Amino acid sequence: MEAWKAKLLAARKTAIVQGSIRKVHYEFEEEELAEDYDMKTGELLVRKWKKTSTLGKKSDWRYEVGCPPLNTKSDGSEMMWESNSTPRAYRQDSKTHFAWRVQPLPWPMSNYKISVDNNEIVIKTENKKYYKKLIVEDMDRYNFPLLTKHVNCAHANSTLMISYEKPPPVLHFEQSIYSELCKVKPIQDNDMDSCNQQ
């Protein structure tokens, strides 16, 4: 946990404020990290990574937290879009839980089997039509094991919602990091009052 904190604090950081969203951009040696925070709640809305290859080519953004846009791929004059009917899993955390939404999944709650295996949350269906492993990258970074008793799930409106309760050290760590990020002066907005209220 301390190594991750040191990496974040040592990175070159820039921040901007757009409405009630604080956007922070980190530059590391071989990758970039962008995070969006709700300034009213301090909640992390988006975390995405972009790596640079040894030849200097940058990858597309890889979303760790937040809902990525539908993939569009261009091949000459033709455009291909990812189907809206293909289930998509994305993380949408709260202050107290790591959380995912998987949609569309139309089957009733009784069809889903949720377990923890190899430090991953595994989703299976009785009808064998969906299988997914969810990685909690934060827990991997901190070397914390996943425990089945902290996994909760619900289903509504063709959406499977999975949540994992954040351990107290993670809650404390996230608060301390957000406090540090509030010290990064935004490029266009000098108003830091909302950070001082956290």
Kindly give, in sequence order, each residue whose CB lies less than 8 Å from that of residue 21, ignoring residues fewer than 6 positions away: 36, 37, 38, 39, 45
Q: What is the pTM of this model?
A: 0.84
5 is written with which tokens? 């904190």
Cα–Cα distance for residue pair 65/38, rounded to 1 Å:
13
DSSP assignment string, 67-93: -PPPPEEEETTEEEE--TTS-EEEE--
Cα–Cα distance for residue pair 26/41, rounded to 1 Å:
21
Taking only the tens place, the pLDDT of each residue in 56-73 is 788 899 999 999 887 644
pLDDT attached to residue 71: 62
Going by the DSSP 8-state scheme, the letter that residue 54 receives in this structure is T
93 is written with which tokens? 């955390």
pLDDT attached to residue 1: 86
pLDDT above 80: residue 198: no
pLDDT attached to residue 81: 55
Residue of higher predicted confidence among 14 and 29: 14
Q: How confident is the model at residue 120 (pLDDT cuts 50, 70, 90)?
A: very high
pLDDT attached to residue 79: 55
Phi, psi of 2 (to 5 degrees): -70, -35
